[in-house]
Structure 1
Amino acid sequence: MIKINKKQIINFFFPILIVITLILGIIKFPNQSILAAQKGISIWVNVLIPSLLPFIIGANLIIDLKVVDIIGYIINPVAKFIFNVSGKSALVFAISTVSGYPVGAKLASELRNQKQISKFEAQRLVSFCSTSGPLFIVGAVATGMFKNPELGYLMLICHYLGSISVGILFRNYGKESLNNTKTSLKSNVINTINDRYKDERGFFVLFGNAVFNGINTLLSIGGFVIVFSVVFEIFSLFNIISLVSSILCIPLSIFGVTKELCNAFISGLFEMTIGCDKISSVLSVPEVLKASLSSFLIGFSGLSILAQCCSFIAKTDISTKSYVLSKFLHGLLSSIFTFLLYPLLKSDSFVSNFGTMHNFIYDNSLWSFYLENYNIILPIFILIYIFIILSILEKTSYKLNKES
């Protein structure tokens, strides 16, 4: 008789329970479900399609036209030293920082499917190359929701700092050392050009394929956004979100987090756009706390975008569990950086925002000392951060050289 452990039973029945709950919710609340789906469609049509489609088409083209390979050869030494990835992988990070989710995960998965990078390099790559874009952080969140464009630039810097930090933490994943290319840059470029001409597909064929693949990708993304909008609405109507908020609010209340803010934060764990919008509308909480929680959501990206990215990653041998862990670390580090660097934004109003807050974080001598002396403490913190990063790089390089 075949034995089944508890984990297998849970993994089997838990998705079924979620789907049944969703179907029952749609049947019981049809009007609310339709409105939630319409909201998801609105986000997809008005935000995602205009901002992502050109980047996805362009990204597909630069891979097929071998632009990634040529630029990769140029930046290869720097990328290898910092992240232990090849130059073409580092270029994926650059594209992701401009275009946003889920382009970085998609490009990394394509490089792995094409066997251009190893399994471990692909894992290291997706740990830091899946980022949000400046258009969303500065335009949608900071300007549109928080009504503070300056905050957007701070959150953007902290978002990329968190991503780079995660990339450095994962640089020794798999204990794989990339081989040094002995061929010259000129030879590599010539070989890439020859490989390109061996492909008999012309530019317009490649362009057509890029448009076709881009539209299919956007259709998939739209499906995820619509479904998760309905899922969150159903869970809210069943008071599941309210219950989780009440439980989570108990330990977080000592940090000044209210139940309303908890509810907004949990909504962002499903869909970060909705969560950031709800967080920004909470009036009884200081801006620094709202910005820090929003930074976490943008770094973590929410279940909707995680599902989109994992749909690409699952087609490869890249571990989705490690990817989700890296996104959690990205969100955590981004929120910490936002919290620590916020005094640089506007120190005077920052101090006044905490006049009515009485908790052990905001109303104590240690925090007051930091606010009064952040111009001295912050550079020290930055120097310590740089020293830790350099120590990690040196230690990892030593181990790799010793193993080789």
Structure 2
Amino acid sequence: MKKSKLVIFFMPVFIVLFLILGIIIFPNESIASAKEGLNIWTNVLIPSLLPFIIGANLIVDLKIVDLIGFIINPVTRFIFNVSGKGALVFVISTISGYPVGAKLASELRSNDQISKSEAQRLVSFCSTSGPLFIIGAVATGMFQNSSLGYLMITCHYLASISVGLFFRNHGKELIPRSSHSLREDIQNVINARYSNNEGFFVLFGNAIFNAVNTLLMIGGFVIVFSVIFKILSLFKIIFLLSYILYIPLSLFGVTKELCYAFISGLFEITIGCNKIAAVISTPEVLRATLASFLIGFSGLSILAQCCNFLAKTDINVGLYIFSKFLHGTLAGLFTFLLYPLFKSTILVSNFSSAYNVLYNNSIWNYYIENYKLILPILIIIYILVSLIFLEKTSYKIKNPS
């Protein structure tokens, strides 16, 4: 037997046994962390997610996603190489937050409404956080700066769209134009809707049943990962990872405390963002950058929730995780670069020479003084380059070499 198979088999076994051992050694701390996870689930997740999950289920069952998809299909097909259903999934995800986008995309694939390649492209940019968390919880509640939330949410969705453009060629598949007229497509959807002989109240009841089961599963993930993080902290593993991360990041003025907070967020973004915001000795721009990365990456707890949905389909989970890492990286980069525009003044920094190289020079100062003229020009150039990129990539898909 190959060693790789033995490692794959026994690695989860050792991890589970290690965590169980930690719970046995630290029972009081484990119970306290489980209560914290339960508190997050009951006070935050259930009120914020339940209505959206019920609505998302109804949108699929009532064929609303199909009807809207037919109308906006030409736009989404050109930009992201996905059908019009993708735009609706993206909108729902941006409103409701994790993990509704991944759940809805996996349901479309499970129902065979989209192909495997389209599902992979769709889930790469339709799994996002919601404005309530970014603006309300992170910016206002943790950073005590509500206006910072608008910068972070702009960068978050801009990064998501950028990832969608990056993945538009995945699968070498071009979404075809509909061979039917809009009227014929709508008629077919209506006929399919009534062919199941299920009335609205049956679908409504099914939507509530599925939503409650989904939230129970999400609550389990939150509680388990809350305990996992506590056990790893008690065994000083989080501290060790933080110290390893601190070695290269210390060159940029990152403290050990900030590294610890960042590692915390890799497990659970709410805990991580709260700890990052509390490190007031670090400039806000760096804290906001790291928080933006965590929100885009989503953390292991939410990744596990999303992967639970995706693993029931043929969507590549590893590729999805890579897209989330790319999403987090771009969101953090956009936040770091656009932060001076958010402040509207030239910042004075004392935390690293690297920051001064970027922001304290004549070119950047000229940009800040004239950004109202330069920024629209850059946006126009970005749109033109994107259109050229879309046209060329569409041609390559149509005519593969």
TM beyond 0.5: yes
Shift of residue 367 of structure 1? 4.0
SS in 2 for 1:171: coil
Alignment equivalent of 2:263, drawn from 266, 285, 288:
266
8 A contact 1:69–1:192 mirrored in 2: yes
Alignment-derived partner of residue 2 in structure 2? 4
User: Following the alignment from structure 2 to structure 1, what is the Cα–Cα distance between the partners of residues 258 and 193?
Assistant: 53
- Report the CA distance between 1:21 and its aligned residue: 1.5
Within the alignment, does 1:310 sit opposite 2:292 as a pair? no
Shift in alpha-carbon separation, 1:227–1:302, aligned structure 2, 3 A: same
**Equivalent pair of 1:79/1:85 in contact (CA under 8 Å):** yes
Q: Which amino acid in the other structure matches residue 64 of structure 1?
A: D
Amino acid at match of 1:285: T
CA deviations on 1:367-388 (whole Å, 9 max, x unpaired) are 4342552344655654554354
Look up the match of 1:362: 355
AA matched with 2:367: N
Is the 8 Å Cα contact of residues 269 and 298 (structure 2) preserved in structure 1?
yes
Deviations 1:159-194 (A, max 9, x none): 000000000000000000111112111111122112
Higher mean C-alpha displacement, 109-118 vs 362-371: 362-371
Query: CA distance change for structure 1 residues 288 and 308 in 2, over 3 Å: closer, same or farther?
Result: same
TM-score by length of 2: 0.95
Q: Does 1:211 align with 2:204?
A: no
Give 1:324's match in structure 2, choosing from 316, 321, 326.
321
- Which residue number corresponds to residue 283 of structure 2? 286
Q: Which residue of 2 aligns with 1:164?
A: 161
Write the distance in 2 (CA, Å) between the matches of 1:365 and 1:111.
44
Determine if the alignment matches structure 1 residue 200 to structure 2 residue 197: yes
Letter in 1 for 2:203: L
When residues 191 and 181 of structure 1 are mapped into structure 2, their CA distance, relative to the original with a 3 A threshold, is same
Deviations 1:280-337 (A, max 9, x none): 0001111011101000000000000000000000000000000000000000000011
Output the CA distance in 1 between the equivalents of 2:111 and 2:95.
Answer: 23
CA distance in 2: counterparts of 1:364 and 1:123, whole angstroms:
39
CA change 1:381–1:235 in 2 (3 A) is farther
Partner of 2:224: 227
Does the aligned pair in 1 maintain the 2:174–2:394 contact within 8 Å? Answer: no
Contact 1:343 1:371 in 2 (8 A): no
Instruction: Indicate how the Cα distance of structure 1 residues 274 and 112 shifts in structure 2: closer, same or farther if over 3 A, else same.
Output: same
Deviation at 1:340, TM superposition (A): 1.0
Work out which of the residue numbers 187, 190, 207 in structure 1 matches 2:187: 190
- Residue ranges of structure 2 left out of the alignment (5+ in a row): none
Distance in 2, matches of 1:153 and 1:43, equals 24
Instruction: Write the distance in 2 (CA, Å) between the matches of 1:118 and 1:28.
Output: 48
Are the counterparts in 2 of residues 351 and 371 from structure 1 also a CA contact under 8 Å? no
Q: In the alignment, which residue of structure 2 is the partner of 1:373?
A: 367
3-state SS, counterpart of residue 224 of structure 1:
helix
Which stretch shifts more, 207-216 or 196-205?
Answer: 196-205
1:34 is paired with a residue of what secondary structure? helix
Give the equivalent residue in structure 1 for 2:273: 276
Q: What's the secondary structure of 1:345's corresponding residue? A: helix
| Secondary structure at 2:356 match in 1 | coil
| Counterpart selection for 1:145 from 142, 146, 153 | 142
Corresponding position of 1:351: 347
Q: Where do 1:22-171 residues align within 5 Å?
A: 22-171=19-168
Runs of 4+ in 1 over 6 A off after TM superposition: none
Q: Secondary structure at the match of 1:180?
A: coil
| TM-score w.r.t. length of structure 1 | 0.95
1:237 counterpart residue number: 234
Structure 1: distance between partners of 2:9 and 2:385: 43
Distance 1:199 1:169, change over 3 A: same
- Deviation digits for residues 234-277 of structure 1 (CA, Å, limit 9, x no counterpart): 00000000011111101011122111000000000000010000
Residues 395/223 of structure 1: CA separation in 2 closer, same or farther (3 Å cut): same
Counterpart of 2:251 in structure 1 is 254
Aligned residues: 397
- Decide whether the 8 Å contact of 1:361 with 1:367 is kept in 2: no
Closer, same or farther: CA 201–185 of 1 in aligned 2, 3 Å: same
Which range moved further: 210-219 or 190-199?
A: 190-199
199-208 vs 380-389, greater mean Cα deviation: 380-389
2:387 matched to 1:393? no
Q: Confirm or deny: 8 A CA contact 2:347 2:359 kept in the other structure.
A: no
SS at match of 1:43: helix
CA RMSD in angstroms, aligned pairs only: 1.6
Q: Which secondary structure does the structure 1 equivalent of 2:353 belong to? A: coil
Q: Aligned partners of 1:339, 1:379: CA distance in 2, in Å?
A: 19
Instruction: Report the CA distance between 1:121 and its aligned residue.
Output: 0.4
